[in-house]
Structure formats: structure tokens, C-alpha cells
Structure 1
Amino acid sequence: MRFAPAAAALSLLFAATASVSHASWFDPDPVAEALVAEGQALLAAGDTQGAIDLFETALAVDPGYTDIYLRLAEAARAEGLQGKAIGYYREARERDPENLAAIAGEGEAMVEKGAVQAAQANLAVLQSMCGDSCPETARLAAAIAAGPPVLRAEVVDPTEGVTAN
């Protein structure tokens, strides 16, 4: 009888742990999946703002669907907003720390932003998780090898296109 409170507390702990681990592996809402698929098609067609609108709608429908954050990050990168993309990738990693696509995408966005050392830390994480044979590892290693994009100045003739009043 004196072990009853401890047994009850222990069984409650196991029940809570089991329900939390089960809750993280759920099927996404079919409406959210359809919105994400439609957004991907718009993103592939070059309509990034339309894609972002659909991804945000999908996020409102199913806020627990981690894949939406990856799609939002892709769209942000397509718009040249690497800092925003990194934020989305970090949200995806917070929800799913072992998400290889989020780790690799965050690293690629870091390279595009010029933070190569931070991207190398992501590469080390990927290598420890899945080795060098993983497509995400290879993709991030290639991005690091290529380095950040170089901005070039364009020479413009100041008299071209100027008219006198």
C-alpha cells in the first residue's frame, strides 16, 4: 500500500511520455498537404509570393506540419531572403531536430549569406548523423565548396539615358 502513490506517479509519467512521443508522429491534414503541393507548383513556376501565401494558409490549417517550414524557407531563399529562410529552417529543426533537409537547407542559406563557418558546423552535424553518402551532406558540401555568391559591380555610363531640359 505504501508504494501505491509512487506507482501511480510512475504510471502517469509513462503515459504522458508515450502520448507526447506519439503526438509528434502524426499524419498531416490533407487540406494542408494539398495547399503545400499547390504552393510547390507555384514556386516551381516562379510565383514565389503566391507560393508563400499558400504555405502560410497551410500553416494556419495545420500548425504542426513541419514540412511547411521547409517550403517557406525555400520560398524565402528564392526571394533572396536568406536570413528569413534560416529562421524557418531553425523552426523546422526545433520541431524535428533530426530533420536532415532542415539542417542542410539552413547550411546552404548560411553559405549564401556568407557564413561559411556556421555552414561547416551544419555539415559536421550531417556527417555525424548520416555520413558522407547522404544526399543532404553531399549537397551542403558542394555549396560550401562553391562558396558564397560574389556580387559584381556593373559599369554604367552616367550620360546614357539622361536628357537635357
Structure 2
Amino acid sequence: MTVVSVPELRNKFSRAARLGPAFAALFLVFALSNSVGSLSKPPPDPRAMMMVQEGQLALSRGDTDGAIDAFEAALALDPGFDEAFVALADATRAQGLTGKSIDYYRRVLEGDPRHFGALAGEGQALAQKGALAKARRNLAVLQSLCGANCPETVGLRMAINAGPSASLAAEDAGAAPLSN
């Protein structure tokens, strides 16, 4: 049996007293970060949902400007409504603004990297721009998340197989320097 002297015990106690609050704070940070991460998003504003439906109806009629206005109004009502961002991205992609649509898709993916619609839409926009390798990465992620036959995966696969859009090819041909 070893005998511990009083100064040695006092030294161990003071070390524990100094480190105890730091360990308690560290434990609290980890406990709070885990509980905050598990919180779900609040349900979207019903008015924003109505505006998204109006926008989708306008988009189905071919009125992309009206659709974009409705989607932007939905985002004014509920700035965190992911489906409004995805719909806005789809509408801007329909206008040929693939770069802008990619920004909207990525905004959704920052908050939810597993959002099927944003992954598929971003992949389709990338395929339209000719970034097929990046589009294939999105396809691989989608296949691992929802399978090979989910609608988002099928749509992205078709967009990749179609390659860059015809309008993009025409723009590239027009941008070539003229010969003398």
C-alpha cells in the first residue's frame, strides 16, 4: 500500500479543480450541438406554399416570368422554404440561366445536402452547361440515396445522356471568332 502525502493530494485536487470547468463546458458544447442538429425545420408558411403552387401552374403554362415572380413572392413570405428555392431554380433553368439556377440549388444543398430535387436540378443544370463529370457526381449521390429508379435519378440520367443543351451549343458556335 502506498502512502500519499497531503501536499500531493492537494496538488491533484487543485489540478482537477482547474480542469473541471473546462471539461464541463466542453461536455455542454457537445450536448447542445447534438440537440440543435436534431431539430427539424418548421413547416413552411401556407401562403408561401400557395405561391409555389401558383408558380408551378404558371411554369406549366410556359409563363416563366410569372412563375419566377410567384416563387420570389413565396421566398419573401418564407425565406427558408427549400421547395420555393428549388422551384425558382427550375424556372431560371427553363429560361436558360443555368448559372443562376445552380446558385439556387446550391443554397438548398448547403442546408440539406440530401435534398433529392436540388441534387437532380443542379445535376441537370451542370449537364446543360457541359459539366458532365460534376453532373455524374450528383447522379452517384442520388443513386446512393434514393436508388436507380427514383424520378430524380431517372431525370438526371436522361439529362446527362442528352449532354449540353442545344442552345448552349448554338451560343458557343456564335462566340467563335470570325475568320477573314
Q: Equivalences for 1:86-105 in 2 at 5 Å?
A: 86-105=102-121
1:107 partner SS: helix
Q: Equivalences for 1:50-69 in 2 at 5 Å?
A: 50-69=66-85
- Counterpart of 1:149 (choices 165, 168, 175) is 165
Q: Equivalences for 1:84-123 in 2 at 5 Å?
A: 84-123=100-139
Task: Give the TM-score of the pair, scaled to structure 2.
Answer: 0.74
* Residue segments in structure 1 that go unaligned for 5+ positions in a row: 154-165
The structure richer in helix per residue is 2
Q: How many residues align?
A: 152
Rg (Cα) greater in structure:
2
Amino acid at match of 1:95: G
Which residue number in structure 2 is paired with residue 157 of structure 1? none
Distance 1:33 1:96, change over 3 A: same
Q: C-alpha distance in 2, partners of 1:8/1:106?
A: 41
**Percent identity at matched positions?**
49
Shift of 1:149: 2.6
Which residue number in structure 1 is paired with residue 93 of structure 2? 77
Task: Give the TM-score of the pair, scaled to structure 1.
Answer: 0.80
Amino acid at match of 1:130: C
- Counterpart of 1:37 (choices 28, 47, 53) is 53
Shift of 1:134: 2.3
Shift of 1:74: 0.9
Shift of 1:36: 1.0
Q: C-alpha distance in 2, partners of 1:147/1:8?
A: 53
1:18 aligns with 2:35: yes
Amino acid at match of 1:40: Q
Shift of 1:68: 1.0
* Residue segments in structure 2 that go unaligned for 5+ positions in a row: 1-16, 172-180
RMSD between aligned residues:
2.4
Q: C-alpha distance in 1, partners of 2:37/2:133?
A: 35
1:94 partner SS: helix
Distance 1:86 1:8, change over 3 A: closer
